Structure 1
Amino acid sequence: MNNSIPTDIPHWTALVAEKKQRQSESIPHEWVVTPPSDSTLDVSAFPETCGLLNPREIEITNTSVDVLLEKLACAAWSAVDVTTAFYKRAIVAHQLVNCLTEIFVDRALARAAELDDYLKNTGKVVGPLHGLPISLKDQLCIKGLETTIGYASWIGQYADKNAVLVDILIECGAVPFVRTNVPQTLAWPESFNYVFGRTTNPYNRSLTSGGSSGGEGALVALKGSPLGVGGDLAGSIRIPSAFCSLYALRPSYGRVPCYGTRNTLDGQDSILPVLGPMTNSVIGVKVFMKAVLNAKPWLYDPLVVRKKWDEDEYNLVDHGSGKNMCFAIMWDDGVVVPHPPIRRSLEITKAALLKAGHKVVDWKPVKHKTLGDIAVSTPCSVTIWNAGSTEEYMTTTSVTGEPIITTMELDIADAAVASFRPQNDGMSVYQLWQVQKLRQDIRKEYLDHWKATVSETGTGRPVDAIICPAAPFAATPHGKNRYLDYTAVWNALDYPAAVFPVTTVDSTLDRKARPHAFHNDIDKDIYEMYDPEKFKNAPVCLQLVGRTLEEEAVIRMTEIADAALLAAK
């Protein structure tokens, strides 16, 4: 990355105006549609009714990743046709929910044409992802493109090489074709910045699509991409996936290469960001992970674990080969009680797993409040991510005068900083070490706690996986997503976690519960926020959590839970 800063930098507003103009000009005129009025909240059906996509393109964009790859490999569909179909649908999605940042049509179609020529001339595919369009969160560098992570101050800084994962995806035959919107700094669970604006939820545009991979979540939900790559530091893959009804995976760090990405808090190495897949089917998660892991990413990123895709782990050799499993349900984290739709989704999943012949027990959360505090969630100065965040944000934005966003609320110019985004003076190195040591100790305590569940499972094994909320609520109104600990604790523990859809908010079934004995003020605030009409049509998803570096098993157990839910309908 060439991060050299010119001496004569325009004011941030001039940078934004110029960048927005360039983005607008990158959209083919013939792909511009007339979107529904703002009063139309659910726009999920619009891409298929707007008239831009022909029937074949609609068929292509409704096809799962595995079938797409089969048709691409046998040349039933060309890479150019598939890329064009998804590109057109992505541009429609962008006009509906404002999900894209970088649009590079000619470059992507030229890549697709090269793949078609290779297949025609050799009879072979380039790799396991041959011809598959893949969208990327706006932090994965692509040579020759800007990567702003929502900073106006980084407009005009062009990458001089690809991120390692981008190179691996290209080596596997994929076609990177768009990049997607994020919040300024990445460090928000919603997606708004001064450069590209706000991304909304396609199922209800008055709600957030989540963050920081919110553009990715909205795009994939509208089937403008068959497979996207998000980044996750505290839930940034799982929150938008849960809010947008997707399947996704937050792997342990060390499985998927992150080198060459632009990050917030870059340089802190206690709780590291990870990259992972976001898609419309659980098979898409497997396809991505298997392709990337078998490309030997440890040869290109020094922090990647030397561990190829493990078929025995996927076949659950250490989990009874997938028979008579025992799942644990975490009904709440002891800090914030989930809203009624989340509780109902847990009950639905429990019933489906029992019907499928598995055991289900309750999970006791261990020090989740402390784990959340260690990472990010409180305004005190002893959280790892807040140790130097204020200085980083100020250093980045001071050159152009760009203000730091302090709220995701609509129509509020300057509100109190949310509890997970405090500004503070940091801490001493010694204080940071003490917080990191506390995290190490709790990780050991949690490991021992999980191991001890062997006494209650009846399988001769500890609990196979934990099923829990991805958030205490479905997609919130803009600016209201202010509690991250249902995802952040698993980052602190470095446990892999998958997201899978269960249901949607139903105003009849999900009436507001009577007040409970509140754990704290944030618990009370979140209880009072709930109104089933405000959350109308919002997807409801859950997490399935495994132990460190157990990605293959987590994917397979998610498939089992997903199949159980499907069979129970």
Structure 2
Amino acid sequence: MPHWTALVAEKKQRQLESIPQEWIVTPPSDSTLDVSAFPETCGLLNAREIEITNTPVNVLLEKLACAAWTAVDVTTAFYKRAIVAHQLVNCLTEIFVDRALVRAAELDDYLKNTGKVVGPLHGLPISLKDQLCIKGLETTIGYVSWIGQYADKNAVLVDVLIECGAVPFVRTNVPQTLAWPESFNNVFGRTTNPYNRSLTSGGSSGGEGALVALKGSPLGVGSDLGGSVRIPSAFCGLYGLRPSYGRVPYYGARGTLEGQDSVLPVFGPMTNSVVGVKVFMKAVVNAKPWLKDPLVVRKKWDEDEYNLVDHGSGKDLCFAIMWDDGVVVPHPPIRRSLEIVKAGLQKAGHNVVDWKPIKHRLLGDITRDIWNAASAEEFMITTSVTGEPIIATMELDDADAAVASFRPQNGGITAYQLWQVQKLRQDIRKEYLDHWEATACETGTGRPVDAIICPAAPFAATPHGKNRYVDYTIVWNALDYPAAIFPVTTVDSILDGKAPPHAFYDDFDKDIYEMYDPEIFKNAPVCLQLVGRTLEEEAVIRMTEIVDAALLAAK
């Protein structure tokens, strides 16, 4: 094999050649941190393309279905904006313009000849995390060792999206191994945050988050093993959903820790509107994916559940706010966003109580024990093919890096020890279920709490290498609760001044407190998380819509 750097150079050259040269722009200098407005001012997109790329998913689909806009025009508009986004924040991996435009033209011809759409996603460009295999393309998940490995068939979800009429058009950047909440690898480099390029876009779906934030895609697909849809959605100001296990097909994708089937990865949507989340989930689950993936739950879209039949039909809901998880206290912008949501919900007539977290630290530790049982061996085996180094930090300056908190620190545990950890997790899932049920005595509705609202992280998007705590998302993976991300505000240096020291849970909590400086986090989006119960995706989406409407009405 050639030295791994030669493989990277060849791959990067092929990526560069896949970009239409007439779409190359001159991006602002590195000193310009906020590049969110650049795609509309760079001169590449015309007025109609700007209009198309600013249109919500549901309206796009209406325009496509009545042929007001062609699939070719819509795909071209988003493609151009995606290429601009890539030049700003380095968010793309695979770029297949010709293939996507051929697909779009086929959809236009079908509509013209039959008067019918192919499916509920007819003509909609969809970006995919670099994990979802597409026949004839490489899927590296950031490994040099996987350059040159071409898929001989699509992942099941890709087939489902195509059957629904979608147009896959780009794939997006991830961290090496996927097992990191930031996005950097030896093949494609680092993805940055479009609102402040000195900050991370999150991970592992960080390329997806940055692309969708710049409206280079109307709808993206990320994956979530411990927060990888929700963290980049939160850091980039998006709506996103982590569904329960088995609701969205996963088979045929490439991933990390494959064969580990206790805490499973799931695919979920990332988009600029909550309606986009609904459109994706409804289309995918109504396509009967259980006929293509044996692990998918046989459950079509449930309109009664969406109408909150089990939640008082959406009247006088009771939300619980988790102000912190008992491990790390959130930064001032996160606290302010929780207070904004509480006030908005109360003004809309809903009840709000406090959520008492139980065993969140233990849930995080259990989940890491499960993942670490064999992850070090997997990373070593995969990278040994080319000799590429295993990335140990996301820091810009490796010399200043602390011990990596997201790489296994030991050789893993025995099979017997793993079984004990998995049994403990099962027991805590039962304990948490009972804990939730017991809230019926304090809600005032006669029902338990309808949903939990909590931070997605204790901070907004961090400087590169500083995203050191992910248990605000991991716990819901361990419990298999669906969780949606929704935007609330942005970091404001005046409103979000540094808080006085609190009674720290431990030294780590103190470290997180001390990293906050409102000027460093300036302009970062602030999002929160709405959590429901297992396989309750429809209700979670509807309650997120209700919270969204309450926030809008309160402005």
* TM superposition score normalised by structure 2: 0.99
Cα displacement string for residues 328-347 of structure 1 (whole angstroms, at most 9, x for unaligned residues)? 00000000000000000000
2:133 counterpart of 1:141: yes
Matches of residues 425-504 of structure 1 in structure 2 within 5 Å?
425-504=411-490
Partner of 1:334: 326
Partner of 2:373: 387
Partner of 2:171: 179
Select the residue among 2, 9, 15 that pairs with 2:7: 15
Cα displacement string for residues 118-168 of structure 1 (whole angstroms, at most 9, x for unaligned residues)? 000000000000000000000000000000000011100000000000000
**Structure 2 CA distance for aligned equivalents of residues 414 and 387 of structure 1:** 28
**Structure 2 CA distance for aligned equivalents of residues 520 and 262 of structure 1:** 38
Partner of 1:379: none
Cα displacement string for residues 280-335 of structure 1 (whole angstroms, at most 9, x for unaligned residues)? 00000000000000000000000000000000000000000000000000000000
Partner of 2:337: 345
**Structure 1 CA distance for aligned equivalents of residues 240 and 284 of structure 2:** 15
**Structure 2 CA distance for aligned equivalents of residues 195 and 414 of structure 1:** 23
2:277 counterpart of 1:291: no
Partner of 2:228: 236
Secondary structure at the counterpart of residue 128 of structure 2: strand
1:413 CA displacement: 5.6
Select the residue among 108, 124, 144 that pairs with 1:152: 144
Partner of 2:310: 318
Secondary structure at the counterpart of residue 229 of structure 1: strand
1:414 CA displacement: 8.2
**Structure 1 CA distance for aligned equivalents of residues 498 and 407 of structure 2:** 29
Matching residue's letter, 2:312: G
1:422 CA displacement: 2.4
Secondary structure at the counterpart of residue 204 of structure 2: coil
Matches of residues 123-134 of structure 1 in structure 2 within 5 Å?
123-134=115-126
**Structure 1 CA distance for aligned equivalents of residues 316 and 401 of structure 2:** 51
Secondary structure at the counterpart of residue 472 of structure 1: coil
**Structure 2 CA distance for aligned equivalents of residues 214 and 467 of structure 1:** 23
Matching residue's letter, 1:27: I
Maintained 8 Å contact 1:420/1:483:
no
**Percent of counterpart pairs with the same letter?**
89
Maintained 8 Å contact 1:72/1:130:
yes
**Structure 2 CA distance for aligned equivalents of residues 529 and 303 of structure 1:** 42
2:54 counterpart of 1:68: no
Secondary structure at the counterpart of residue 32 of structure 2: coil
Secondary structure at the counterpart of residue 457 of structure 1: coil
**Structure 2 CA distance for aligned equivalents of residues 107 and 24 of structure 1:** 16
Partner of 1:116: 108
2:412 counterpart of 1:420: no
Select the residue among 537, 544, 549 that pairs with 1:551: 537
Cα displacement string for residues 197-227 of structure 1 (whole angstroms, at most 9, x for unaligned residues)? 0000000000000000000000000000000
Cα displacement string for residues 479-528 of structure 1 (whole angstroms, at most 9, x for unaligned residues)? 00010100000000000000000000000000001111111121111101
**Structure 2 CA distance for aligned equivalents of residues 137 and 367 of structure 1:** 32
**Structure 2 CA distance for aligned equivalents of residues 422 and 336 of structure 1:** 21
Matching residue's letter, 1:160: D
**Structure 2 CA distance for aligned equivalents of residues 538 and 421 of structure 1:** 27
1:424 CA displacement: 1.6
Partner of 2:274: 282
Maintained 8 Å contact 1:129/1:172:
yes
Maintained 8 Å contact 1:406/1:416:
no
Maintained 8 Å contact 1:467/1:542:
yes
1:412 CA displacement: 1.3
Matching residue's letter, 2:207: G
Matching residue's letter, 2:440: V
Partner of 1:308: 300
Matching residue's letter, 2:236: C
**Structure 2 CA distance for aligned equivalents of residues 104 and 424 of structure 1:** 41
Cα displacement string for residues 241-293 of structure 1 (whole angstroms, at most 9, x for unaligned residues)? 00000001000011000000111111100000000000000000000000000
Partner of 1:4: none
2:268 counterpart of 1:268: no
Matching residue's letter, 1:552: E
Partner of 1:528: 514
Matching residue's letter, 2:34: D
Partner of 2:397: 411
Partner of 1:85: 77
Moved more, 355-364 or 519-528: 519-528
**Structure 1 CA distance for aligned equivalents of residues 385 and 75 of structure 2:** 39
Runs of 4+ in 1 over 3 A off after TM superposition: 413-417
**Structure 2 CA distance for aligned equivalents of residues 228 and 288 of structure 1:** 9
Select the residue among 66, 73, 86 that pairs with 1:94: 86
Maintained 8 Å contact 1:406/1:414:
no
Secondary structure at the counterpart of residue 230 of structure 1: strand
For the aligned residue pairs, the C-alpha RMSD in angstroms reads 0.7
Change beyond 3 A, Cα 1:400–1:430: same
Partner of 2:196: 204
**Structure 2 CA distance for aligned equivalents of residues 183 and 298 of structure 1:** 30
2:173 counterpart of 1:163: no
Matching residue's letter, 2:138: E
Matching residue's letter, 2:98: D
Q: Unmatched 5+ residue regions in structure 2?
A: none
Cα displacement string for residues 171-215 of structure 1 (whole angstroms, at most 9, x for unaligned residues)? 000000000000000000000001000000000000000000000
Matching residue's letter, 2:530: L
Partner of 1:31: 23
Secondary structure at the counterpart of residue 453 of structure 1: helix
**Structure 1 CA distance for aligned equivalents of residues 114 and 399 of structure 2:** 58
Maintained 8 Å contact 1:389/1:423:
no
1:415 CA displacement: 3.7
Maintained 8 Å contact 1:150/1:193:
yes
1:416 CA displacement: 4.1
**Structure 1 CA distance for aligned equivalents of residues 403 and 304 of structure 2:** 47
**Structure 1 CA distance for aligned equivalents of residues 247 and 305 of structure 2:** 14
Matching residue's letter, 1:82: V
Matching residue's letter, 1:387: A
**Structure 2 CA distance for aligned equivalents of residues 118 and 455 of structure 1:** 56
Secondary structure at the counterpart of residue 488 of structure 1: helix
Maintained 8 Å contact 1:134/1:175:
yes
**Structure 2 CA distance for aligned equivalents of residues 414 and 165 of structure 1:** 41
Partner of 1:364: 356
**Structure 1 CA distance for aligned equivalents of residues 381 and 412 of structure 2:** 14
**Structure 2 CA distance for aligned equivalents of residues 135 and 235 of structure 1:** 19
**Structure 1 CA distance for aligned equivalents of residues 528 and 501 of structure 2:** 23
Matching residue's letter, 2:156: V
Secondary structure at the counterpart of residue 442 of structure 2: helix
